[in-house]
Structure 1
Amino acid sequence: MDDAKHLDRLKRLQFRAWHRGTREADYMIGCYFDRFHKEWGESELAWFEALIDEEDVDILGWALGTLSVPDEYAGPLMDRMKLLDYVEIPR
């Protein structure tokens, strides 16, 4: 993928991560993207793209441990999301 397409993809993902519909989801998903996306390769970006197509209530439930994580999202990226130490809430 050329650099311009890659940057457009990242901008789209960041926008979608930060415009979820609730402040809680914005912070959890947006901060997660901002903190880790620079470390991701193609498979991690594809995982995140699929994840953000899911409902916020499901994503938050998986990250908070109140819902079982589906097999397609289970693994190190979801394990990292569950730590929640990346969430920065402005005061």
Structure 2
Amino acid sequence: MNTHHSEPVDDLRRRLMYQSDHRGTKEMDIILGRFARAYVQGFTESELADYAGVLQLNDVDLYNWVTGQATPPANVMTPVLQKLIDHKVSSADL
């Protein structure tokens, strides 16, 4: 992942923050935006790469996993996805 062509970490953090707030569904904008504001600045490069992968996942699946309506398959479960699932969002926030 860390090649000389890789994106500078600060740029990656900014891009992930932007992508978290601009998902296309209001609920995921709120959930991912709040999660990103809480964690992205403190993430390691490895966690940032993991979170970039989470942002590639389908909004409907993410929403169902975060709200407990479904369990993510093992092949997509990562420590950062687990942190997102554990990050509590009140239904009043949505």
State the alpha-carbon separation in 1 of the partners of residues 69 and 61 from structure 2: 9
Task: Specify every segment of 5 or more residues in structure 2 that has no aligned partner in the other structure, as ranges.
Answer: none
State the alpha-carbon separation in 1 of the partners of residues 88 and 80 from structure 2: 14
Q: 2:34 aligns with which of 24, 31, 35?
A: 31
State the alpha-carbon separation in 1 of the partners of residues 12 and 46 from structure 2: 14
- TM-score normalised to the size of structure 2? 0.75
Deviations 1:40-69 (A, max 9, x none): 112211111001011111111111111221
Pairwise CA RMSD: 2.4
Deviations 1:2-60 (A, max 9, x none): xx821111111111110001111101011101101122112211111001011111111
State the alpha-carbon separation in 2 of the partners of residues 31 and 84 from structure 1: 9
Is 1:53 matched with 2:56? Answer: yes
Residue 15 (structure 1) aligns with: 18
Is 1:40 matched with 2:47? Answer: no
- TM-score normalised to the size of structure 1? 0.77
Using the TM superposition, name which of 20-29 and 69-78 deviates more.
Answer: 69-78
2:28, 2:59 within 8 Å by CA — same for their partners in 1?
Answer: yes
2:13, 2:41 within 8 Å by CA — same for their partners in 1?
Answer: no
Structure 2 residue identity aligned to 1:83: D
